[in-house]
């Protein structure tokens, strides 16, 4: 399939701004230009209360957004880790998506503003995210959450963090996750290493940019074998929770997500996978311009509701 006209129009709009690739701009400039319109992901719906607590993580006090849908509960829950290559973005940028998913899945969604690289390399962002899961579990009663219906989710680098957190929860045995939602995750730097990688340039996130982002997150080659940093490095995927995963057809990370899906399925994990035809990396965040960024929420919610009803 060819690229969707709305996705191409969004890319053309971005190109007209003349901004450099993130690998050339660097972290400071990328953050400075990353505060886009609040409704970039689509309209901000009502019917959900947003609270903004802090909790003390392993190395810092961390802000949360807690989205609670109207109604008596008890609720399901998802702990969400936002994308941005471990370097950019922030939790308020996800209000539209997470309000919608909170309503569609009757879930309290806890989104954590984890510390960013390169100032805070692995394992700090991962540790922050795992601590947010622990905080959610510890406060399940106060949040009116069913403790056996808690999942994790994330997009792009957040999908990496969700994958790492799910592996750690399995390994440590202290938390049993109900599911993981992985939105075009970046789970292995090897998938953007080769010069022949598809969709390397011209579709938003570039191969050069993704390689640079991995360099910001990892401390060096020693981290490439750590499964919580690089989930593709895990020795086993057995025992992971049911998984909802998507890739985008015109995304430099597409083969990464396809390979991770295969590893999960081969290990006997219940996997719902969809390759989003005509879509680009990040489309989940561009609902104001790309209709599928809003429509895909129904797919996520339908699969999450299916899993939680089993």
Catalytic residues: 156, 251, 281
Domain extents in the chain: 5-308
Across 78-101, average pLDDT: 97
With bands split at pLDDT 50, 70 and 90, how would you rate the model's confidence at 36?
confident
Q: Looking at the predicted structure, is the pLDDT value of residue 35 above 80?
A: no
- For the stretch 59-81, pLDDT in tens is 999 999 999 999 999 999 999 99
- For the stretch 201-248, pLDDT in tens is 999 999 999 999 999 999 999 999 999 999 999 999 999 999 999 999
Q: Which pLDDT score is estimated for 37? A: 82
With bands split at pLDDT 50, 70 and 90, how would you rate the model's confidence at 310?
confident
Contact between residue 272 and residue 147 where contact means Cβ atoms under 8 Å apart: no
Residue 167 CB partners (closer than 8 Å, separation 6+): 227, 228, 231, 234, 240
Q: Which pLDDT score is estimated for 33? A: 82
Q: Which pLDDT score is estimated for 38? A: 84
Which residues partner with 56 through β-bridges?
Answer: 61
Indicate the DSSP class of residue 123.
Answer: T
Across 104-129, average pLDDT: 98
* Least confident piece of the model among 27-36, 47-56, 113-122, 262-271: 27-36
Considering just the CA atoms, what is the radius of gyration of the chain in Å? 18
Q: Which pLDDT score is estimated for 34? A: 77
Q: Looking at the predicted structure, is the pLDDT value of residue 98 above 90?
A: yes
With bands split at pLDDT 50, 70 and 90, how would you rate the model's confidence at 195?
confident
Q: Looking at the predicted structure, is the pLDDT value of residue 278 above 80?
A: yes
Q: Provide the CATH number for the domain formed by 5-308 in this structure.
A: 3.40.50.1820
With bands split at pLDDT 50, 70 and 90, how would you rate the model's confidence at 51?
very high
Q: Which pLDDT score is estimated for 91? A: 94
Q: Which pLDDT score is estimated for 123? A: 98
With bands split at pLDDT 50, 70 and 90, how would you rate the model's confidence at 190?
very high
The percentage of the chain sitting over the pLDDT mark of 90, rounded to a whole number, equals: 95
Residue 151: C-alpha distances to residues 34, 37, 59, 134 (Å): 28, 29, 24, 12
HEC assignment per residue over 234-280: CCCCCCCCCEEEEEEEECCCHHHHHHHHHHHHHCCCCEEEEEEEEEE
Which residues partner with 277 through β-bridges?
Answer: none
Q: Which pLDDT score is estimated for 261? A: 98
């Amino acid at each position: 399939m060819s690229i969707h006209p709305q996705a191409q129009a969004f890319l053309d709009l971005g190109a007209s701004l003349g901004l450099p690739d993130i690998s050339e701009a660097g972290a400071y400039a990328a953050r400075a230009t990353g505060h886009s319109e609040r409704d970039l992901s689509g309209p901000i719906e009502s019917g959900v209360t947003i609270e903004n607590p802090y909790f003390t993580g392993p190395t810092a006090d961390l802000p949360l957004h807690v989205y609670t849908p109207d109604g008596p509960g008890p609720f399901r829950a998802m702990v969400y880790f936002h994308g941005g290559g471990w370097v950019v973005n922030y939790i308020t940028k996800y209000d539209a998506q997470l309000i919608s998913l909170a309503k569609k899945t009757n879930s309290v969604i806890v989104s954590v503003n984890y510390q960013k690289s390169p100032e805070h390399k692995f394992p700090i962002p991962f540790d922050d995210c795992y601590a947010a899961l622990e905080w959610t579990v510890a406060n399940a009663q106060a949040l009116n959450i069913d403790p056996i219906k808690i999942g994790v989710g994330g997009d792009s680098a957040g999908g990496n963090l969700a994958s790492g957190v799910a592996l750690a929860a399995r390994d440590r045995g202290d938390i049993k996750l109900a599911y993981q939602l992985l939105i075009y995750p970046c789970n292995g730097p090897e998938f953007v290493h080769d010069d022949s990688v598809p969709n390397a340039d011209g579709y938003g996130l570039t191969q050069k940019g993704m390689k640079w982002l991995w360099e910001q997150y990892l401390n060096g080659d020693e981290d490439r074998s750590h499964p919580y940093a690089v989930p593709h490095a895990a020795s086993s995927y057995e025992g992971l929770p049911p998984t909802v995963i998507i890739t985008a057809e015109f995304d430099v990370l597409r083969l990464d997500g396809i390979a991770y899906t295969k590893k999960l399925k081969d290990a006997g994990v219940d996997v719902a996978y969809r390759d989003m035809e005509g879509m680009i990396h990040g489309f989940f965040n561009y609902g104001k311009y790309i209709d599928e960024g809003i429509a895909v929420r129904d797919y996520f919610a339908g699969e999450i509701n299916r899993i939680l009803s089993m």
